[in-house]
Amino acid sequence: QDYDMDIYLMMSWRDARLVNPYDKPILVKEEDILEKIWRPDPFFANAKEAEFHEVTFLNFLMRIFPDGLVLYETRVKIKPSCNLILCKYPHDKQTCDLLIKSFAYPVETVRFEWFTRRKDAIDKNPDVKLPELYIDRYETTTCANERKSGAFSCLRAVFRLKRDVGFHIAQTYIPTSLALMFSWVGVWLPEEFMEGRIGVAITVLLTLSTESAGAREHLPSVSYLKAIDLWFGFITGFVFFTLLQTLFVIGFDKRANQLKKWAGRKTADITEEIREVLLQKATRYHKTGRYLDNFCRVFYPLSFILFLLMYYFVFTEGRQDDCMNRR
């Protein structure tokens, strides 16, 4: 994956050839003069695209101080790559970095260093807001940059990102939880509405299928299991279990009604003893169906609460790459 950045790149170095007798710094705003002054050669090693802002002119600023200190600032739009690990999605934390390396000058000639003050090294515009992920913190480090042509200076800016789960709570967790609870209504319905329970379970299954497809629509295709996949897998499996339970209860009731019908026949081959046995079996089937409904009235909520606890404290916690390490 990649992300867009609009940055002000600021560099400072000292050039003894630019020592001057003036009291105030010299402002350079002409590109012709800029091209004649020596500058470091940084490039963004993990950027897919990069370009200078040139509207309405090349956006840069250079000041040359009397002691030869040069301050150079330019505006750049870049698109760095970022390896997203979605094991805990949407409870994930991402780490994206920006690699700044010297292209031609070896480390013996040019050495990059961050500004001493952290705010001078990296400063974020507080008005910039991201839709889902937000920058929790950022770090400044160095990195090794060995190429066949030699060793070159390298700086690494690390951005620690967290995902705001408020959207997913409102759009995924609450709707699917309510749909699941709606499928439990069947165990509280009177016996005469038994066949309608199948329609409820099938409707909920179709709803969950649509929700699941919508949740994965904007995600990259990965070969491992995400936390949101576990959520939809459990919810869908739970609803499918309620459908099976409904079929068993309907089967028990139909078998009980069939036995009662046989016992009510007035034929010579059905004695009072056989009729009594048939009625006992019918009562047993009917009670089994009622017992299964009563059991599920307690089992469904308790198992869902247990899953919520496991999902929050087990599946969404731990290392962000747990699912990849198990492969």
Q: Which two tokens stand for residue 93?
A: 């934390």
Whether the CB-CB separation of 280 and 52 falls below 8 Å is answered with: no
How confident is the model at residue 325, as a pLDDT?
A: 66
Alpha-carbon distance of 88 to 91, in angstroms, equals: 5
Q: What does each C-alpha distance from 244 to 138, 230, 249, 301 come to in angstroms?
A: 51, 21, 9, 17
* CATH 1.20.58.390 fits domain 166-325: yes
Please identify every stretch of the chain with a pLDDT value under 50, giving residue numbers as ranges. Answer: none
Class of domain 5-163 as given by CATH? mainly beta
Whether the CB-CB separation of 320 and 239 falls below 8 Å is answered with: no
How confident is the model at residue 327, as a pLDDT?
A: 53
How confident is the model at residue 34, as a pLDDT?
A: 93
Q: ∠ CA 69-73-78 to the nearest 5 degrees? A: 145
Continuous segment of H or E residues that includes residue 61? strand 60-64
How confident is the model at residue 74, as a pLDDT?
A: 95
How confident is the model at residue 279, as a pLDDT?
A: 83
Q: Residue 11 pairs with which residues in a beta bridge?
A: 72
Alpha-carbon distance of 77 to 9, in angstroms, equals: 10
Q: Which two tokens stand for residue 176?
A: 């699917």
Domain ranges of the chain: 5-163, 166-325
The DSSP call for residue 123 is: -
Alpha-carbon distance of 181 to 309, in angstroms, equals: 17
Q: Which two tokens stand for residue 129?
A: 């807001």
Q: What is the pTM of this model?
A: 0.79
Q: What does each C-alpha distance from 310 to 19, 77, 137, 303, 304 come to in angstroms?
A: 67, 43, 29, 11, 10
pLDDT tens string 280-304:
888 888 888 889 989 999 999 999 9
Residue that is written with structure tokens 């459908």 in the block: 243
Residue that is written with structure tokens 């292209």 in the block: 103
How confident is the model at residue 25, as a pLDDT?
A: 95
